[in-house]
Structure 1
Amino acid sequence: MTARTCLVTGAGRGIGGVIAARLSADGHRVALNARGREGLEAVAGTLPGPSLAVPGDVTDPAAVDEVFGAVEREWGPVEVLVLNAGTGVSAPLARTTDEDWQHMLDLNLTAPFRFLRRAVPAMTERGWGRVVVIASVAAKRGAPYISAYAAAKHGVLGLVRSAAAELAGTGVTVNAICPGYVDTPMTGHTVAGIAAKTGRTEEQARAALVRQQPIGRLITTGEVADAVDLCVRSAAITGQGINVDGGAVQS
């Protein structure tokens, strides 16, 4: 592939770090964003190609121009944008606070909107661009105790579909990857939370998550990166929410 300038949010660990490594191995320049510089520099130090650590809180409106500006000064416009930053909260609906609700919207929906809005003009001007949002199977179906998270993820899938329809024919594609439970620190936090609330051991809690995926195991970070790679390479895939969930949601 032609070497492209990439920006990956939430790139300090987990899925984001593995996606950054895949893009770098494919020969691209990769800018990494997360809140903490230390984690970004640790990941950047493992990449085989050019890298740039750009710390910033994606929920801060001012951070959007700061992050893009840093990349543009170094390498020019962002051509591949992977919006991976995100997290979840779990609580019964009646105990989901306004703060929990707003945090889920800010991080999982509003931040991707702002980054996408900032990236699109340069992509359309150049006639080429790839945007990939790491969503969740919670963008496709609801589940108990994740009303705020699922609402935000459903929203970001709607954003992806609308943006893709608007940009069709410009050379810019917009897609979402919808993983099930991935073997990451975020899932480890979920396991610990389930164990603390239910009295089960962490091994029992993890087994309960595994049982939700027909393949009988957690998804690997590399499998999520495979789907991102497909979206970057293909000009014909756009407006999709690609499930990477071991067959849990068939759509």
Structure 2
Amino acid sequence: MPAATRTCLVTGAGRGIGRAVAQRLSAEGHRVALTARSTDQLGQVAATLPGPSLVLPADITVASAVDEVFAAVEAEWGAVDVLVANAGSGVSAKLADTTDEMWRGQLDLLLTAPFRCVRRAVPGMVERGFGRVVVVASIAAKRGEPYIAAYTAAKHGVLGLVRAAAAELASSGVTVNAVCPAYVDTPMTDVTVAAIAEKTGRSLAEARAALAARQPIGRLVTPEEVAEAVWLCAVNGAVTGQGINVDGGAVQS
């Protein structure tokens, strides 16, 4: 990505990976628009950024919200150059106990919302001959995991979206990639730890240690390590159509 200041939009920017990505982009001198449902969390992230920021609270699972967020960025700074589709959450249940509501909720947030963001961003990027799209997926986009059928299906789907979009846009100056973390030390993982502890009777520390032990490096991934992979996708125009694992060696590719 050239040294000129770019306009970036990060979804799910209120905490965890989204926060770290926003901080990385801002530290490199770029304008960063932040969107998530929590106004308070977005304000806290904006206060940590060294460069210009926009706070745009929204629920991007609402169809009209995506266009409203993009329109707000365009009105203030112009078109989005770098889109990081990071918003996400997970639900856990046995396959037979996964309700239609749980299924729809995961697909809406993890697949349909990124699709709408990419669809909205791409025409302007193609017109300008430059764009970077990065979707924060999951290692669950690469392999099946028990008790998260809806989450895994959505993440497999969004990796397919990335690959199709990258193939279509390869000659346009627009790159499209996914970053696929394993368990990251974030509030989302805290929820998983609490659920494991409740179901197994383990302490929170024991449940966290069990998750860390599932990764060959023996620890949780940091949000900053994921943000570095996102940054690679932003700066390297020859990297496109990839699902970059940030998983401590759990899935070798």
Range of TM-score over shorter length: over 0.9
Map of 1:214-233 to 2, 5 A cutoff?
214-233=216-235
Map of 1:114-153 to 2, 5 A cutoff?
114-153=116-155
Correspondence for 1:49: 51
Correspondence for 2:69: 67
Between the aligned partners of 1:246 and 1:190, the Cα distance in structure 2 is 19
CA RMSD of aligned residues (A): 0.5
Give the drift of 1:198: 1.3
What letter is aligned with 1:143? E
Give the drift of 1:13: 0.8
What letter is aligned with 1:121? P
Correspondence for 2:110: 108
**Secondary structure of residue in 1 paired with 2:48:** coil
Between the aligned partners of 2:14 and 2:84, the Cα distance in structure 1 is 13
What letter is aligned with 2:180? C
**Secondary structure of residue in 1 paired with 2:177:** strand
Partner of residue 84 from structure 2, selected from 82, 85, 102 = 82
Give the drift of 1:39: 0.9
Map of 1:145-224 to 2, 5 A cutoff?
145-224=147-226
Aligned length: 251
**Secondary structure of residue in 2 paired with 1:91:** coil
TM-score, with length taken from structure 2? 0.98
- Gapped regions of structure 2 (runs ≥ 5): none
TM-score, with length taken from structure 1? 0.99
Structure 1 stretches of 4+ with a deviation exceeding 3 A read none
Deviations 1:198-225 (A, max 9, x none): 1111111111111110001000011000
Between the aligned partners of 1:35 and 1:139, the Cα distance in structure 2 is 25
Give the drift of 1:91: 0.5
Between the aligned partners of 1:215 and 1:35, the Cα distance in structure 2 is 33
**Secondary structure of residue in 1 paired with 2:180:** strand
Between the aligned partners of 2:77 and 2:28, the Cα distance in structure 1 is 17
Between the aligned partners of 1:46 and 1:144, the Cα distance in structure 2 is 37
Correspondence for 2:101: 99
Q: State the identity as a percent.
A: 71
Deviations 1:156-203 (A, max 9, x none): 000000000000010000000000000001001100001111111111
Give the drift of 1:36: 1.5
Between the aligned partners of 1:52 and 1:94, the Cα distance in structure 2 is 43
**Secondary structure of residue in 2 paired with 1:31:** strand
Between the aligned partners of 1:46 and 1:213, the Cα distance in structure 2 is 30
Between the aligned partners of 1:35 and 1:62, the Cα distance in structure 2 is 14
